[in-house]
Structure 1
Amino acid sequence: MEAPFPERAAESIAHLLVVDDDAGIRLLLAERLGTYGYRVTTASGVAEMDRVLARGGVDLVILDVMMPGEDGLTACRRLVQAGGPPVILLSALGDEQDRIVGLELGADHYLSKPCSPREILAHVRALLRRQKAPEAEARRGFAFMGWRMDLDSHELFDPEGVLVHLSDGEFAVLRVFAERPRRVLTREELLHSARGPDSDAFDRAIDVQVSRLRRKLRAGDSDLIRTVRNEGYMFVPKVTQA
């Protein structure tokens, strides 16, 4: 039986481990993430990663998939099975099947290269928030058809764990839908609940927000938001607390 991982760092400054055989990427991420106050250690491969993890105190691993020797997917599965820190996979293989494989192996997020340090930072922050929040707070959100809303961070993740950007207005409207699924909501109700009773927005603004949400909530041929003629809109999927 494999030995458990050492306890993670108790300090408020998170310790990130970047594992990539490309020295340029390691340096770039270490510098950029370091400017946001994180402690960053790098490793050029899985063997070096294991040595760093054995010393303890790592809160999150950013792991490249395609590396010489043991690849990132195999290493990710091993980390998850051994109860290691959460993993963000980076890969030049970005099609749907590759992402599904990575997530099924236990990765928390899967990002396709090239991706910006800013995008990686957003995923790091989201993961660390979930790690540090009390269990009750970590469940402060909604889930529907594989999608997940985090009410604390105002983030939406698609069924593959990819962060989907929503404006504040779009998130507010989606929250109203998630709180009242399978009910016909008039435009006035949506405006009042999403913007407040003193809002100077108008019906057309809600139509625009709903149109944008529909484009972002892609679920094959399914339309998650149904238009009810002469009445308003209905959020179709079953919603659960997450």
Structure 2
Amino acid sequence: MTAPHVAILDDEPEIRRMLAETLTEAGFRTTTYGRATEFEAALKRTAFDACLVDLGLPDRDGLALVHRLALESGAAIIIISGRAQVQDRVTGLELGADDYIIKPFDPAEVVARLRARLRKPRAEAAPAAQIAHFAGWRAAFDRYVLIDAEGRETPFSHAEGEVLRLFLDAPNRLLTRAQMQENLGGIAGESFDRAMDVRISRLRTKLGEDPKNPRLIKTIYGAGYIFLGEVRWE
């Protein structure tokens, strides 16, 4: 099986070198970039499995880049930043990042977080199942798009896809926040709750749900969420 390909975007050469060496030793393939323009050019010809993104870039707003990646890429996105304020972490997660690591960091932690993000949540199911059919919708996880009954496509981010897949793997069953956090990993406490609320809200919008009375993704207050409907995988 091909090793996961990780893009490392950081303007500090020493950090790029250290991360590349650590990840290579851990079995990942890596490509490093010091500027956002180089990285964005590479995105046109390379599909990365994960992207490590520093927010303090010299030529681009890091948060804007994270948001673009979340909308246009199927890669897992991990922010690595010296910004330690809670609001910075929450904003990064709301814009579509899967995780947030604060500098200075232990390289071993980055490896662990990457493995958690790239872990397949449906290990017990047939690995070839990439398209789910439910309530007149198709979710194509190989292309990260939702397809309605008329064939119109709506893209979803890697982070939104992780949440949607959890629901589609366990239809008509209560998923507690603790269970969701255990499966998704990497994010803790208030930041996880806020990020989860945002991702579920975006999924409901893309599925055309009434926010006051959603028919598919129901909130069970004080307990968690339940996805109502029959699901068929292919």
TM class, shorter-chain normalised?
0.5 to 0.7
2:20–2:32 contact (8 Å) kept in structure 1:
yes
| Residue 40 of structure 2 corresponds to residue 50 of structure 1 | yes
Partner of 1:38: 28
Matching of residues 184-199 of structure 1 within 5 Å: none
Contact 2:9 2:33 in 1 (8 A): yes
Residue 22 to residue 145, structure 1, CA distance change in 2 (3 Å): same
Distance 1:156 1:27 in 2: 24
**Percent same amino acid at aligned positions?**
33
**Does residue 238 of the first structure (1) align with residue 211 of the second (2)?**
no
Partner of 1:176: none
SS of 1:47's partner is helix
Contact conserved, 1:144 with 1:238, CA < 8 A, in 2?
Answer: yes
- Within 5 A, what are the aligned runs for 1:9-28? 11-28=1-18
Indicate conservation of the 8 Å contact 1:144/1:237, yes or no.
no
State which of 172, 176, 183 in structure 2 corresponds to 1:143. 176
Find the aligned partners of 1:68 and 1:91 in 2 and give their Cα distance.
14
CA distance in 1, matches of 2:81, 2:179: 22
**Aligned mates of 1:143, 1:72 — CA distance in 2:** 32
Instruction: Determine which structure has more spread, i.e. the larger CA radius of gyration.
Output: 1
**1:160 aligned to which of 167, 188, 191:** 191
State the alpha-carbon separation in 2 of the partners of residues 62 and 147 from structure 1: 23
Alignment match, 2:71: 81
Q: What's the CA shift for 1:237?
A: 4.1
Deviations 1:31-55 (A, max 9, x none): 0010011101000011111122222
Q: CA RMSD in A?
A: 3.1
Match of 2:102 in 1: 112
Displacement, 1:60? 0.5
CA distance in 2: counterparts of 1:132 and 1:56, whole angstroms = 25
Question: Quick one: distance in 2 between partners of 1:156 and 1:89?
Answer: 12
5+ long unaligned stretches in structure 1 = 1-10, 163-235
Distance 2:176 2:121 in 1: 18
Larger RCO, structures 1/2 (Cα 8 Å, 6+ apart)? 2
Deviation of 1:21 (Å):
0.2
Count residues in correspondence.
Answer: 156
Is the partner of 2:223 in helix, strand or coil?
A: coil
Displacement of 1:145 in angstroms is 7.5
**In 2, distance between residues paired with 1:93 and 1:55?**
31
Give 1:161 deviation, angstroms.
4.3
- Among candidates 61, 68, 93, match of residue 58 of structure 2: 68
TM-score scaled by length of structure 2: 0.58
Question: TM-score normalized by structure 1?
Answer: 0.56
How far apart, CA to CA, are the structure 2 residues paired with 1:122 and 1:64?
A: 18
CA displacement at 1:157 relative to structure 2 = 3.9
CA distance 1:125–1:21, change in 2 (3 Å): same
State the AA in 2 paired with 1:49: F
Partner SS state of residue 93, structure 1: coil
For 2:27 and 2:83, locate their aligned partners in 1 and report how far apart those are by CA, in whole Å: 30
CA displacement at 1:146 relative to structure 2? 9.9
